[in-house]
Amino acid sequence: KAGVTQTPRYLIKTRGQQVTLSCSPISGHRSVSWYQQTPGQGLQFLFEYFSETQRNKGNFPGRFSGRQFSNSRSEMNVSTLELGDSALYLCASSFPQETQYFGPGTRLLVL
Amino acid sequence: QKEVEQNSGPLSVPEGAIASLNCTYSDRGSQSFFWYRQYSGKSPELIMFIYSNGDKEDGRFTAQLNKASQYVSLLIRDSQPSDSATYLCAVKGSGGYNKLIFGAGTRLAVHP
């Protein structure tokens, strides 16, 4: 089975812009979770989607949003980018509970 | 108190030795525990998961769970230089669904 894929792998944006990241889960997996990883805060949970519904949300501002499509692919969006949003954004898929498998991540740099 | 705590390391062990990585968690209702390995510049890779008290072995890796002490550990036997990485302990909280809470990770360095 193919693993979790994320696009794009690298992004450079400027403050105030918005960005959309995409995640395709492992075939058959219906749950997609998003995480942010920074050197200072480590890996932090953003939100989880299952069957096109957000089931859980971490402690991030409303600028961070996401959605899931009927084929389980998911996107996350960050609006009005800030310098502190520079991070590795990881998505993980699971079926539909328990072990989560991570994609390669999208590295976002905000200038 | 952080929800999941790990020693940041680095933990330095000689090749062939046993590396012992520890993790404590604060949510007594947590039911599922995971160990991920992350090489520099890469994404986390699942190594082990454990749900029940006791030991679980998989090849050179053994996960140990003690829910009464809220303690999880990972033992790596016959450590190899290729095991040098950051090891992340993750706990699925009692709230259900798939929210994993990660520790800050322990850097392991295996020297020849």
Chain A residues with CB inside 8 Å of B95's CB? 56
CA distance A32 to A4: 10
Q: In the predicted model, is pLDDT for residue A98 greater than 90?
A: no
- Chain B closest-CA separation from residue A79 CA (Å): 23
In the chain, the amino acid numbered B45 is: E
Element (H, E) at A13: strand A10-13
Res B98: pLDDT: 84
- Chain B closest-CA separation from residue A80 CA (Å): 25
CA distance B11 to B5: 15
Put simply, the chain B residues between 17 and 56 with a CB less than 8 A from any chain A CB are 32, 34, 36, 42-46, 49
Q: How confident is the model at residue A96 (pLDDT cuts 50, 70, 90)?
A: low
Indicate yes or no: CB of B97 within 8 angstroms of CB of A56: yes
Put simply, the chain A residues between 68 and 87 with a CB less than 8 A from any chain B CB are none
Under DSSP, the state recorded for A80 is: S
Written as tens digits, the pLDDT of chain B (112 aa) is 679 999 888 999 999 999 999 999 999 989 899 999 999 999 999 999 999 999 999 999 999 999 999 999 999 999 999 999 999 999 997 776 789 999 999 999 999 9
In the chain, the amino acid numbered B79 is: S
CA distances from B31 to A76, B4, B66, B96 (A): 28, 14, 11, 9
Chain A residues with CB inside 8 Å of B45's CB? 102
How many of the other CB atoms lie within 10 Å of CB of B64? 18
Q: Write the residue in B99, B102, B105 that is nearest to A56 by C-beta.
A: B99
Res B1: pLDDT: 67
Q: Is the distance from CB of B72 to CB of B9 less than 8 angstroms?
A: no
Residue B69 sits at φ, ψ, to 5 deg, of: -95, -5
CA distance B34 to B7: 16
Q: Lowest mean pLDDT: which of A10-19, A81-90, B1-10, B76-85?
A: B1-10
Res B2: pLDDT: 75
Chain B residues with CB inside 8 Å of A44's CB? 102
CA distance B15 to B78: 7
* Count of positions (residues) in chain A: 111
Note the Cα B14 to chain centre separation in Å: 19
Res B89: pLDDT: 98
